[in-house]
Amino acid sequence: MQVEEIVRNALLEYDRHEAKGAYPIYSSPWVPVGSEGPLTAIRKESPEGLSNSEFRLYGCIQGNYRNFMDFYYAENSQELFEWNQFMYGYAVDAVVLKNIHTRDSGKPHEYLGLKWTCLQPSSFGRKRDNCFLEYLTYTKDELGRSVGVRVTLPVEIDECPDLYRSLKVKRVKTHNVAIVRPAGSSSDATQLFVMSENDFAGLPVSAKNFKKFMRIYNDMALFVDSKHILKQGMLCKSNWMPNNSRKACTNCQLPFNAATRRRSHCRLCGDIFCNHCLIVRNVPRDQSGASKSRIFQVVKSRFCKACLSRVRRGSETAHATQPALARGCSDTNVSRVATVNRDNRKLRKAASITSDQNSLRQEWWDDIASDSDWSETDSEDASKASLNASGRSRLASSLSSSQSSWTTTRPKTPWKRTICRSWQRWMSLMTTWLFSTRNHGAPRPSCTKSSQCPVGTR
């Protein structure tokens, strides 16, 4: 089987990569692209330039390697669109054309299927789609360590025709192999090695695109959280605790104030916290009740650490009790939300005891959590929404359907910066006032040419 041969060759290449040491050095024709956090990227020079090049990415990222593999697992079009939208933020549509092997087909450690995705990085840019064969598997590397491997291979089939003539959608071809394994004894860190061969069909590509690719992989743990939250289901706003029911933060017990410690609700439990005790994650906008749709837009929402811990523990329990890559349906499970408050009280009590005993230990999400201050008024990107599609006619009708732009969020100015600017303005006014007082009553200099000066002399 071709994909199995690709996996074997990729593991051999990964073994040669690790033989170079912790800081591998690649010689010509490989040239460095740059680094983003713990990740490093290199590319192979080619006469075609960046639009047709070979690219490699390696380093350590946060999160469990099984969560990385499960994030990509999608048996239906809704699940496929979910991870594309969480990961990129500008997905137009995604379709699972055919599942060849799934968890129910007698091979629980493997997935094989044909898929199609369409992205639009900017509202004025050209859409680009990709039809590919995806293969997910768990295996052993050359040193006998457990690894997860994801392979995508571009394919040409009649059910997924080129849409450039009809809809001006560029067909890109990307062949990726991603290898992940636990980073040492830590289950919350993953060693990542990606090999990619890209044909962007003449679309403009720069080094910034590769660095953006690295930033996306650095945030994989955040995307995994978003997908788990979507599977869990959020609490309806009508079931939140009233604002006047608490005078202090549920977590830190500090009183609220409008200047530095504003109150906000956790979207999973509905309890009230200060903005410093909440973590921001991307979730679908308006995914409640009858408004739920397969196509959604992403907004930032706030969640307490106890709820995120509970969501993560649920995923770890699923890994321990179910076969790899096997999981339940991703439909929102609202019925379990009623028990959230009781579970959170127990988790917060246990977390407080643990923090007292291990005050030096920090949760890894504290280092990668976004700023809690955010707004839904500024527009940065635009995503185009379309309906379900499969086959030649449905793919075309999906992209030709009406499109709706959406706004993303941008963090507000932090309160410390606001106070600093206010202090600077106050000092500037005081300096001006003191200077004017010191020179009060001094004779005003007269013009040297009084006959030509419109003001004259005094």
Q: What is the pLDDT of residues 153-166, one digit of tens each?
A: 999 998 899 888 88
How far is residue 412's CA from residue 416's CA, in Å, rounded to a whole number?
11
Q: CA dist 20 to 15, 103, 426, Å?
A: 9, 36, 57
Q: Evaluate whether residue 442 is within a structural domain.
A: no
**Considering its fold, how many domains does the chain have in total?**
2
Residues 205 and 234 in one domain: no
Integer-rounded Cα radius of gyration of the chain:
27
pLDDT band, very low/low/confident/very high, at 428 (cuts 50, 70, 90) = confident
Residues 267 and 352 in one domain: yes
Nearest partner of 58 among 32, 95, 79, 84, judged by Cα = 32
How far is residue 390's CA from residue 293's CA, in Å, rounded to a whole number?
17
- Per-residue confidence (pLDDT) for residue 373, from 0 to 100: 38
Cβ atoms 118, 81 nearer than 8 A: no
Average of per-residue pLDDT across 68-80: 95
- Per-residue confidence (pLDDT) for residue 281, from 0 to 100: 94
Residue 258: burial class (beta carbons within 10 Å; 0-12, 13-18, 19+): exposed
Q: How many residues does the chain have?
A: 458
- Per-residue confidence (pLDDT) for residue 440, from 0 to 100: 52
Which of 218, 247, 262 terminates a domain? The answer is 218
Mean pLDDT, all residues of the chain: 76
Q: Evaluate whether residue 418 is within a structural domain.
A: no
Question: Tens digit of pLDDT for each residue in 98-112?
Answer: 999 998 888 877 899
Q: Evaluate whether residue 145 is within a structural domain.
A: yes
- Per-residue confidence (pLDDT) for residue 155, from 0 to 100: 94
CATH number for the domain spanning 264: value is 3.30.40.10
Q: Evaluate whether residue 203 is within a structural domain.
A: yes
Which of 306, 341, 372 terminates a domain? The answer is 372
How far is residue 91's CA from residue 115's CA, in Å, rounded to a whole number?
14
Question: Tens digit of pLDDT for each residue in 375-426?
Answer: 332 333 333 333 333 444 445 545 544 343 333 334 444 555 667 677 777 7
The domain of 271 spans: 230-372
Nearest partner of 73 among 382, 423, 373, 315, judged by Cα = 315
Residues 169 and 238 in one domain: no
Report residue 148: phi and psi, to 5°.
Answer: -110, 140
- Per-residue confidence (pLDDT) for residue 265, from 0 to 100: 94
Q: Evaluate whether residue 363 is within a structural domain.
A: yes
Q: Which residues contact 32 (CB under 8 A, 6 or more apart)?
A: 40, 41, 42
Residues 212 and 252 in one domain: no
Q: Evaluate whether residue 403 is within a structural domain.
A: no
Residues 249 and 182 in one domain: no
pLDDT greater than 80 at residue 46: no
pLDDT greater than 50 at residue 361: no
pLDDT band, very low/low/confident/very high, at 288 (cuts 50, 70, 90) = low
Residues 205 and 309 in one domain: no
CATH number for the domain spanning 201: value is 3.30.530.20
Which of 184, 218, 252 terminates a domain? The answer is 218
Say what percent of the chain tops pLDDT 90.
43
pLDDT band, very low/low/confident/very high, at 445 (cuts 50, 70, 90) = very low
Q: Evaluate whether residue 87 is within a structural domain.
A: yes
How far is residue 250's CA from residue 372's CA, in Å, rounded to a whole number?
16
Cβ atoms 14, 193 nearer than 8 A: yes
